[in-house]
Amino acid sequence: MADLLIVLALTLVVAAATAAVFTRNPARQALVLALLGLALAVVFTVLQSPDVALSQLAVGSALTPLMLLLAVRKVRGRGRHDGRAREPR
């Protein structure tokens, strides 16, 4: 019965990871990845390691999506810029 929480948290991780794989748009994937980070933090807490969960929270729910979104923004901005430069006048 005590393992129920571990099983539930692991199921959530599997579901979140599968959803992240099947989300093709990187900007939307960032949101699912944030949830994956949260689920992993719950797993670590349930396994009695709050220190790992603490760092997982900071990295998984905030830093990874932020870096992903910034990268997407930069790539898109560059693409738009190049497209404009290549336009025939």
Binding site residues, other proteins, CB under 8 A = 1-2, 4-5, 8-9, 12, 15-16, 19, 22-23, 27-28, 30-32, 34-35, 38-39, 41-42, 45-46, 48, 50, 53-54, 57-58, 61-62, 65-66, 69-70, 73
Structure-token pair, residue 66: 């932020």
Which H, E and C letters describe the chain, residue by residue? CCCHHHHHHHHHHHHHHHHHHHCCCHHHHHHHHHHHHHHHHHHHHHCCCHHHHHHHHHHHHHHHHHHHHHHHHHHHHHHHHHHHHHCCC
Give the nearer residue to other proteins in terms of CB position, either 24 or 82: 24
Give the nearer residue to other proteins in terms of CB position, either 62 or 79: 62
Q: How far is the CB of 89 from other proteins (least distance, A)?
A: 26
Q: How far is the CB of 51 from other proteins (least distance, A)?
A: 10
